[in-house]
Amino acid sequence: MPTIPQGTLDLLILQAVSRRPMHGYAIARWIEHVTDDLLAVQEGALYPALSRLQNKGWVDAEWGLSELNKQIKVYAMTAAGRAALKSRTESWQALARAMTKVFKAR
């Protein structure tokens, strides 16, 4: 299983919560699901990243109740988070195109 490159976890989290507000476990499972289990997000990386995104003002968090009536923290994207996601996605896509060219070079 490949490791998540440094600096990309924030982008993955932003993409997850851009769809709908989610709690941490759901974010990790969504990332695993959409990557066909190629990427796994460990709690030790996820929650510090969510805190970092809150500090940047890119996500907000509210306490809520799960389906099992347990307290959970639900994260939602802010307007600043949407702008960051757009900018970072464009940068990532440009880097991916460049890397593809490098690997296809003869």
Residue 1 lies in a domain: no
Q: What is the count of structural domains for the chain?
A: 1
Task: Output 59 or 4, whichever has higher pLDDT.
Answer: 59
Residue 70 lies in a domain: yes
Give the domain CATH number at 22: 1.10.10.10
Judge whether 75 and 27 are in contact, CB under 8 Å. Answer: yes
Residue 3 lies in a domain: no
Report the range of poorest mean pLDDT among 3-17, 19-33, 39-53.
Answer: 3-17
- Predicted pLDDT of residue 1: 66
Residue 2 lies in a domain: no
Whole-structure pTM value: 0.88
**Span between the terminal Cα atoms of the chain, in Å:** 27
**Please, what is the average pLDDT of the chain?**
93
Mean pLDDT of 58-72: 92
Residue 86 lies in a domain: yes
- 37: three-class secondary structure by DSSP: coil
Residue 84 lies in a domain: yes
- Predicted pLDDT of residue 73: 95
Residue 58 lies in a domain: yes
Q: Is the pLDDT of residue 99 over 80?
A: yes
- Predicted pLDDT of residue 106: 82
